[in-house]
Structure 1
């Protein structure tokens, strides 16, 4: 079996844990310690990663590079890699939009083969099993699937189009992360008025996440004419409590795109989404 040498850029909490899984099927997993914090050094050592002194050394020795860093650093990091003409497989696994991923792929071509990656789930520790979604050239994806075979990272191919994995990652994050912020706003408003425990009790009666019920979007569109003003009232309540109202005002503005389908019981999910994109 091919046991590639892997380089990880850079071993944060997710990156280090993913890289540790890669050690199962890799000859070695490298990381560049220059300029990194003490916490990064300790984390990399804990996960059994091999330090190298410079980025050029890491690139020269690696067959596969996995980039897992803060989103705003992804493109600059890829530019540094491109400057050294890395010629292996580059897994762009950051939470960035599809257009940025495609720019990075163009930046690294033709020397490197870019696989678009998106990690959905918690770091692979203490029983957690995130999925690494992959899109790009089939042979390169197969190498990454083999790299994580039998580990806590579940690799899943989405097809040949670079950008698909990034789109799935951000689509999920749109709901998953924004919903956490909305929880903070809802509980903050309720607490201000002494009804936070009652709010939790009301919410506990519902167990299914709305994201798994997209057919509800059409019903939302049909009710937008009255939900929008309701959210404006809620935004005013947040503001009065010293909480930021912008998310609810933005939601009300989004609902306004559906005001012409008031109480339309025949509206389909496709129609609702089309109207949302092209009001």
Structure 2
């Protein structure tokens, strides 16, 4: 099979790194400059992605399009793509609910073939090897497996039903990200009473407890702008399954207190906890 041309929407920290993996088995990987920030341009250049001026050009030239963007933008982006009547394979790889993924599939098909995707793990740089879980038509998921064969982005196919990959991603995220939020709350409460070190010592006696990693609270705060909407999506998925969503909505509300420290790599544990304590 000829090497495909791939388009990435949009090259964030995960999207750009995943796109760079795709470049191993692609003829070219494109990204659209229109409306993107200088940070996006810098990431795209770092990973040697090919810029195009407009979305229409990216869609016209691409055999496969991968959508990796903030959850809130996923459907608007899909509407833009649908407006151009894209006819290739569209990988909906955002952290959104299965129901939203299915709406996007209905929007883009039958012109395009939609593959449901969910990335579990850190961006594939510095030795990290995330897994891109896939569900959808066999011919399409086979093409995506081939695209990432031999790269740091592993793939695993969950079946043919669109929604399975999204469900797995959100099920994992609902525990992982909420657990990090609970760590911040527990350490914040302990600090108020001067027992944070004792709490960490207690937690350190248990295997792989997030409570033994207080340094991660600052990273959680810096990522809260992305994690909050993801937990809202996971809450929607719980509600759709007849399960109580309140815990995840509460975690998302907690994360909103860190909205002003978006991607702040200099944030300390003390700074993060102080901000969390502000109404």
TM exceeding 0.5: yes
Residue 11 of structure 2 corresponds to 11
**Higher RCO (C-alpha 8 Å, min separation 6):** 2
The answer to whether structure 1 residue 62 and structure 2 residue 48 are counterparts is no
Quick one: structure 1 residues 3 and 35, their matched pair in 2 at CA, closer, same or farther if it must change by over 3 Å? same
Secondary structure of residue in 1 paired with 2:117: strand
Q: 1:7 to 1:209 in 2, by over 3 A?
A: same
Shift of 1:205: 1.2
**Which residue pairs with 1:51 in the alignment?**
51
Q: 2:275 is matched with which residue?
A: none
Q: Secondary structure of the residue that 1:74 maps to in structure 2?
A: helix
Match of residue 74 from structure 1? 74
Query: Helix, strand or coil: the match of 1:117?
Result: strand
Q: How much does 1:35 deviate? A: 1.1
RMSD: 1.8
Task: Give structure 2 stretches of 5+ with no counterpart.
Answer: 211-245, 252-279
How far did residue 127 of structure 1 move? 0.3
| Cross-structure match for 2:264 | none
* 1:87 counterpart residue number: 87
- 1:1-279 → structure 2 map (5 Å cutoff): 1-207=1-207
How far is the alpha carbon of 1:2 from its aligned partner?
A: 2.7
Q: Deviations over 1:178-201 (max 9, x none)?
A: 000000000000011011011011
Deviations for 1:112-164, whole angstroms, at most 9, x for unmatched residues?
00000000000000000000000000110000000000000000000000000
Cα offset, 1:46, TM superposition: 0.4
Q: TM-score, normalised by structure 2?
A: 0.75
Q: Deviations for 1:68-125, whole angstroms, at most 9, x for unmatched residues?
A: 0000000000000001000000000000000000000000011000000000000000
- Partner SS, residue 106 of structure 2: helix
CA distance in 2: counterparts of 1:4 and 1:115, whole angstroms: 16
- Give distance in 2, aligned partners of 1:248 and 1:160: 28
Q: Distance in 1 between matches of 2:82 and 2:207?
A: 47
The two structures have a TM-score, normalised by structure 1, of: 0.75
CA distance in 1, matches of 2:41, 2:250: 42
Q: 1:69 to 1:176 in 2, by over 3 A?
A: same
Residues in 2 aligned to 1:140 and 1:249: alpha-carbon distance in whole angstroms: 34
Give the total of aligned pairs.
216
- For residue 90 of structure 1, give the secondary structure of its aligned residue in structure 2: strand
